[in-house]
Amino acid sequence: MINSGKYGEYTDLYDENKKPTGEKLFREKGTKLAVPSNRYIVVVLAFIENSNGEFLFQMTSKRKNNVWATTGGHVKSGQTSLEAIMEEIKEELGIEIDSSEITLFKTYKYEDAFKDIFYIKKDIDVNKLKLQLDEVEYVKYLSKDEIMELINNNDNIRKTNIDAFLDLIQDN
């Protein structure tokens, strides 16, 4: 979508109870959204675990700072969190996941955002993925130990994925 000559998308604003306010903001692609005080946006993440207990992580593109991360993104205006995570998986990995395979694991509330974390238990052949190269360099299944090593060494992992991953493995 183009607004004032800039490419991006609208996202809805919510109150402190995650109720839509009827307001929305335009977010230019590649920029951080400036959320007004006392308002929130919704972002989504998906943790995909295979039958070996490994999690599908992606090395983000150079534009996205070359860090290990899970699939995720912003909820667009008019979308539900479930619709948003299904769209992000399709965009970033090139596959469709049925909504019945996706479970909302937890919602976090931050200073200006709610983060809905989804869990998917599914074996996915990484060789059949069609990656969105603008955002994803490559994908790899990582064991819990490998992910913990990235976290413990303060290594190349997206910081906003850490709390959710630690909660997820504690509950599993």
pLDDT in tens, the chain (172 residues): 555 556 889 999 999 999 999 999 998 877 888 999 999 999 999 999 999 999 999 999 998 889 999 999 999 999 999 999 999 999 999 999 999 999 999 999 999 999 999 999 999 999 999 999 999 999 999 999 999 999 998 778 998 899 999 999 887 6
Amino acid 8: pLDDT: 87
DSSP state of 31: S
DSSP state of 62: G
Q: What angle do CA 120, 147, 121 make, to 5 degrees?
A: 15
Residues 6+ apart with CB under 8 A from 28: 6, 7, 8
Amino acid 117: pLDDT: 98
Going from the N-terminus, what domains does the chain have, and what CATH number goes with each?
Answer: 43-171 (3.90.79.10)
Q: Which is nearest to 92 in space by CA: 69, 108, 119?
A: 69
Name the pTM for this structure: 0.92
Q: Residues 119, 168: contact at Cβ < 8 Å?
A: yes
